[in-house]
Structure 1
Amino acid sequence: MTRSTVTPTTVTDIGVVMFTVSNQDAALAFYTEKLGFEVRGDSRFGENGEHRWLEVAPPGSRARLALNPPMGNQPGGSGIGVETPDVLAEHKRLSALGVDVDPEPMRTPGAPLLFMMRDPDGNHIAVVEVPTAG
């Protein structure tokens, strides 16, 4: 495929790095009390609020660190999150290129609009809608 036939990306930044942690509260204490990071987001979501979206960052940093429990109770590696102003357009673009993406972006109250994709080695990348100021 030549460069001129590829639709340009809408990804604008590496904005969220995701670490798998065994205990979100302990991780929060470490990053805030030991490293001096600030809380950027801490919200519950899911049918009964069983999930928690927790983000910390160094003061003044645009990039954030999401502290997540292992998915499906299986230990896993870290992943990255990239930001785009238009998750739906990026999902469509990557799907058309045959990239291994979730069937649809996730619309979950309390969490940003996002979808996951996997690279050829199975590494996970979350494509996250740029948070709005407010």
Structure 2
Amino acid sequence: MFKIGSMQVWVHDQDEALQFYTRKLGMEVRSDVTVPELGNFRWLTVGPVGQPDISIVLMPIPQPPMMDRETGDAVRELMSKGVGATIFLTTDDCRKAYEELSARGVEFVEPPEERPYGIDSGFRDVSGNHIRLTQVYDSVGS
């Protein structure tokens, strides 16, 4: 038996991503550790308040020798097209959350819309990763 503890998203700039996830989305920092022995590698994670067992790793795209330049460029290109990671967030009130996040400067690419499974909306983080915000109906999956 196992549980999901964290997931990773590629980010262009860890400080910029940190500001987005904490100030605009209201998440909290779970860890922010720099490891000098690994070339000042920074392990940076955030997560939703009230859900301490889940974290999102804000991982910079590695430089050579960890990832060759061509691969890094390919990752950046895919992110610019919005085909990097997708994070799925749920809420009890999608329209209210949409209004609150919009007021904090989050730019939605899809406003809340009724779907067969609930009310769904979407936005992208500062690195281009998709984030879905959904209010799932109670009858879904029952």
Q: TM-score, normalised by structure 1?
A: 0.46
Q: TM-score, normalised by structure 2?
A: 0.44
Structure of higher RCO (CA pairs closer than 8 Å, 6+ residues apart): 1
